[in-house]
Structure 1
């Protein structure tokens, strides 16, 4: 049996078993060779095992593109794409975790919901940003074209792509905070580009800190310099206050971070 429970415990990486697998549902056991796509029937695609995983969860975990496409062809409606397992992962979450941008895009074109949250409140885009996976981030933020949707065998409802930039996970982190923490300048710059248009001054849901605050707090000099160099382009509010009224400069002064103090002052920060 494949479990989509995280492995090791503090990550969201699914465990992978070898094909064939025994797929348990509520009433019986189905033994399926994941390489045999011809055996997939419409009745099988909504069944869930004891971990809440569907056949589509399994196919994604095993990176079996042929089986994924077969399942999508036989599903009766897009709600099947959004079935949650026991830790609130959809197949879309797993496609990001296993770094399969092609499958990510296919799911979106067939109506997979972009704003479904896992047990930590992360959408698929949150996970892609946290992992610094630019290709997955791009697939999740480029609006769908009609020709992509036309391939579906059922009606695909309109949804906002990219998702609401203010959507926070349960730790109060936005996609932008996660991208900054990942260390991926490519993802960060992409989210802040005019084509996506995320707000560089978005505040952390618990602390009210922007990514500039966090760069100072974490003594992340590379991120700090990158943000200040692109201050005008990013429309950076260098004097933005967190919920405790702290600005990036005040934090740098309190922490004795002389390099940050100098950089912030040279860039126009006020005490």
Structure 2
């Protein structure tokens, strides 16, 4: 497994690869878990060469404390990836290598996709995401790039970014990988105690029940039911819950059989912010 620290080293190596080779990219912020492994494995299955980036992107954190607490586990990440395949190319740059002397996000117009849900609570978050994803796509020039559906809003924004910037890449969304009790896998889960981790499975159980209710009830009724469940559940603080059009992410009031819908949720568990979503 080759590890590159600079853009030049990575690019020089990519240029030696056969042009017919399909190239897959899996952007990550490290602290890798089984969810990331599923993305990497899918990329390996569909491409001759796979690049995994490991970079904790400072411009997508609106909370400096959250950035400071984010785990940096490069050695463990490399060991995990080597168990998947020794042929993976890893790009693990410094912030200076990515941004130069001025660490600043670009400004984008995501046509409203970035102003709801996560965007309403995390200032400039998606500008930071867009900046690093665009930079990686333009550097690596992959045929396909892989992102998990746990961050479904991010996935839709990246699809919008690629279309706006006319970047020739296929964006592949991959299903959420869950812990045995249902909690969506996340690097943040490591900050939860074992009992709290178990308790947080309430989030997914509530989403599953909401999905069933959505078949016979209107959106407002389902949303109110979810809020009531969290009011009665100690230790879990609901930040937001929304039911939206899966394409536009606009909150809905009435259902249309021709459209697809999704429920999104953000919850604090002892100060650790957890997000999840489910197709309805």
TM > 0.5 fold call: no
Of structures 1 and 2, the one scoring higher in RCO (CA 8 A, sep 6+) is: 2
Taking structure 1 as the reference length, the TM-score comes to 0.29
